[in-house]
Structure 1
Amino acid sequence: MSLQNIEIEKNILNQYKIILEDWIPQDASIAIAVNNRFIYFSTGHHHFSLKVGSDVPKDSIAYKVLQTGRKVDAVMENTLFESPYYAIGYPILVNGEQGALVVVLPPLFKVKSSDIYQFLTGKQMEDWIPISIDQISHIESLQKRTWFYSKGEQYKTAITLKELQTRLPNNFLRIHRSYIINICYIKKISRDLTSNFIVQLNDGVELPVSQSYINNLRAVLEF
């Protein structure tokens, strides 16, 4: 690549960054990929495990955008960063080549308030029962199904934890790839014999906190 083309490419990438800075949070991160390689990144608070020139992981947002040529958004699990993250990928052109621009939002990012769930409809036997969000103590992913719990009762829902994570109120927090808890139902947080954190709910249920999510739990509860 000639020096002129390199300068053109740098100018294009910087233009994207300047435009995005007007509407994304300051602690968001930006990555751009072309030909299945990352060619640019600007980090917010995240700790990147990628470098310019590194291959695009096949289970990443960038890869999905490059393959489909469409906008993709999802909550991702430890693909590029040390903690789960919400990302939006956009198809772009860089010097005439198809690329992917990925905006990585802060871990505690939530969608706009009008999209927040006010209730979940759960299934018990052959009945569907709407349950107010504030009555749900925790949500679990088990055997490729999602279950939520209210007043000791278990309900099944078709909504995945990834979908729920961005559409639940701020008092719901992901603590494990299998669990989301309502922090209003926490009785105490302690350590087990291996010094891992355990959350005990008011009804006595104990749930583990994985290392990927402990920083988010500490940030929210300030301990």
Structure 2
Amino acid sequence: MEISKEQLKQYSTLLEEWIPKEASIAIAVGDQYVYYSAGEHDLRLKEGQKIQAGSIADAVLKKGIRTEAVMNDTLFQVPYYGVGYPIDIQGERGALVIILPPKHALQNAAPYRFLTGKQEEEWRPIPIEKVSYMESLQKKTWFYANKEPYKINIPLKELQQRLPDNFLRIHRSYIVNVSFIDRIVRDFSSNLLVLLHDGTELPVSQSYIPEVRSALGF
């Protein structure tokens, strides 16, 4: 199939008005990339390069639907946030992929309004403002509301990226809702402890003390 570079460039030109200047644009057809326009966030793709299994382009071509994800550096040695769109090029299925720095995923993601947690064999959506704190324990993530534990399949690191501003990371294992903090004290070893209104005590790790002090102003 012959596709002129000018035809492919038209897609890139149409996008220039709304995508950030750091974005790169890739177009894939069949099993290879047929066009690549490098922005500041450059994966150094080459025209004619084979599509890697597990990439955004691969997912779009296989599923035929819009696909977005933050990708680690396994495939291209550069982490990126990709948004892929199914397109038609001369009757053949193609994929147009916008490549951005990972930070753009966080900017576009709205804060959680609720979390759906599991208790035994039931799942319950809990409004985010009712969650007092979150915990990582034995490779599982839990959140607490009215002292009830709920299991959730999202790591703390990912949860933290989409929590409202009143949630504060105080430890590698804990994120607390500031609205539920009663006071902050020192234990017998002079380590900081966060005491919640319901009596729960949570430790503040040394590495998070500057962040906690800055956020709470003490």
Q: 1:131 to 1:102 in 2, by over 3 A?
A: same
User: Partner residue of 2:22?
Assistant: 27
Report the CA distance between 1:28 and its aligned residue. Answer: 2.0
Q: What letter corresponds to residue 141 of structure 2 in structure 1?
A: W
The answer to whether residue 126 in structure 2 is matched with residue 130 in structure 1 is yes
Tell me the residue number matched to 1:203: 203
Q: Kindly report which structure 2 residues correspond to 1:1-223, keeping only aligned pairs within 5 A, or say none.
A: 9-48=4-43, 50-109=45-104, 110=106, 112=108, 115-125=110-120, 128=124, 130=126, 132=128, 135-137=132-134, 142=139, 147-149=141-143, 155-158=150-153, 160=154, 168-169=162-163, 184-186=168-170, 203-204=203-204
Residue matched to 1:198: none
8 Å Cα contact 1:111/1:167 also seen in 2 = no
What is the aligned partner in structure 2 of residue 191 from structure 1?
A: none
* Counterpart contact for 2:36–2:47, Cα < 8 Å: yes
**Aligned amino acid, residue 19 of structure 2:** I
Contact 2:170/2:205 (8 A) holds in 1: no
Cα offset, 1:51, TM superposition: 2.3
In structure 2, the CA distance between the partners of 1:67 and 1:122, relative to structure 1 (3 Å rule), is closer
Following superposition, the deviation at residue 38 of structure 1 comes to 1.0
Identity of aligned residues (%): 38
Q: Which amino acid aligns with 1:185?
A: R
CA contact (8 A) 1:34 1:100 kept: yes
SS, match of residue 67 in structure 1: helix
2:188 paired residue number: none
Higher relative contact order (CA 8 A, sep 6+): 1
What TM-score comes out, normalization by structure 1 length?
A: 0.58
Structure 1 gaps, min length 5: 173-181, 189-200, 208-223
1:56, 1:62 within 8 Å by CA — same for their partners in 2?
yes
Distance 1:60 1:156 in 2: 30
Alpha-carbon offset, residue 20 of structure 1:
1.0
| Distance in 1 between residues matched to 2:107 and 2:138, nearest whole Å | 21
Q: Which consecutive unaligned segments of at least 5 residues does structure 2 have?
A: 173-193, 195-201, 208-218
CA drift of 1:52 comes to 2.1
> Is the alpha carbon distance of 1:205 and 1:123 closer, same or farther for their aligned partners in structure 2, counting shifts above 3 Å?
farther
Classify 1:59/1:141 alpha carbon distance in 2 versus 1 (closer, same or farther; 3 Å). Answer: farther
Q: Offset of 1:33 from its aligned partner?
A: 0.9
When normalised by structure 2's length, the TM-score is 0.59
What SS does structure 2 have at the residue aligned with 1:185?
Answer: strand
Deviation at 1:137, TM superposition (A): 5.0
State the distance in 2 between where 1:206 and 1:84 align.
Answer: 29
Larger Rg: 2
Query: What SS is found at the alignment partner of 1:14?
Result: helix
Structure 2 residue matching 1:56: 3-state secondary structure = coil
